[in-house]
């Protein structure tokens, strides 16, 4: 999945116009081919002369950028975050959406009273991001679903969030179609959430928690 240097811009798993009318084709082209491509290029450039950092996975770069030499720290933090966050965002949406089922559906009922409760909380969190950033659906270290937000290209990974779903609320994600109406974009976004992949990530997050818990015994 191209998790190491040199990073490439992975193709979208669906056509650029597949999410119409909720997310428009032109936005998808600009967002994937220009914005994400720039993060990929800038991340590779930041790592170019640092063989030790080239051995780190994308997730390690995102989580541990603070341990890198000061001269490259900000560039890696912002651009590894840009690549990681966009890959997860494009993997959070699909044209062929199904409703959540199984363990994830049960957890959504438990934490939010149901899907509409979750959508409402996710929307409120996404609206609360001042300026550019993201809203996340995470699994906490206690194994519960929780919503988090992050500014710029930050991630909540180091805060114990195992991410299962990500909403990009940078204006470039919606401005061409929804203008300044972030709330309208978020209502449309709810129609294209990939609950199948969210369910897979939910199971993976809970498995990795169990592995960590067993190691501690």
Asked whether the bond before 184 is cis by omega within 30 degrees of 0, the reply is: no
154, 81 contact by CB (below 8 A): yes
Chosen residue from 136, 170, 189, 202 binding Mn ion by CB under 5 A:
170
Contacts of 71 (CB under 8 A, 6+ apart): none
Q: Give the SS3 label for residue 199.
A: helix
Q: What angle is formed at CA 174 by the lines to CA 1 and CA 200, rounded to 5 degrees?
A: 35
Minimum CB–partner distance for residue 173 and Mn ion (Å): 5
- CB closest to Mn ion, residue no: 168
We find the least distance from the C-beta atom of residue 70 to Mn ion, in angstroms, to be 27
For residue 149, the surrounding DSSP H or E stretch is strand 145-151
Residue among 43 and 173 whose Cβ is closer to Mn ion: 173
Q: Give min distance, CB of 169 to Mn ion, in A.
A: 9
- 133 membership: H or E segment, kind and range: strand 133-139
168 touches Mn ion by CB under 5 A: yes
Quick note: the x/- pattern for Mn ion over 171-200, rule CB under 5 A, is --x---------------------------
Compare residues 168 and 199 and give the one whose CB is closer to Mn ion: 168
Q: Is 153 in the site for Mn ion (CB under 5 A)?
A: no
Q: Does 24 bind Mn ion (CB under 5 A)?
A: no
């Amino acid at each position: 999945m191209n998790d190491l240097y040199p990073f490439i811009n992975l193709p979208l798993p669906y056509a650029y116009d597949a999410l119409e009318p909720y997310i428009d084709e032109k936005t998808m082209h600009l967002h994937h081919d220009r914005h994400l491509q720039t993060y990929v290029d800038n991340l590779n450039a930041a790592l170019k002369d640092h063989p030790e950092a080239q051995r780190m996975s994308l997730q390690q770069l995102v989580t541990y950028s603070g341990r890198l030499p000061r001269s490259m720290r900000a560039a890696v933090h912002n651009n590894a975050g840009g690549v990681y966050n966009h890959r997860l965002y494009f993997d959070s949406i699909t044209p062929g959406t199904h409703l959540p089922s199984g363990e994830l559906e049960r957890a959504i009922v438990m934490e939010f009273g149901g899907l509409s409760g979750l959508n409402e909380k996710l929307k409120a969190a996404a609206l609360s991001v001042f300026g550019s950033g993201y809203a996340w659906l995470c699994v906490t270290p206690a194994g519960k679903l929780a919503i988090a937000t992050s500014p710029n290209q930050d991630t909540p990974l180091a805060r114990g969030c195992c991410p299962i779903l990500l909403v990009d609320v940078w204006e470039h994600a919606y401005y061409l179609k929804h203008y300044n109406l972030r709330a309208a974009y978020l209502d449309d976004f709810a129609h294209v959430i990939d609950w199948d992949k969210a369910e897979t990530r939910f199971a993976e997050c809970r498995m990795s928690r169990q592995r960590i818990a067993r190691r501690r015994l």
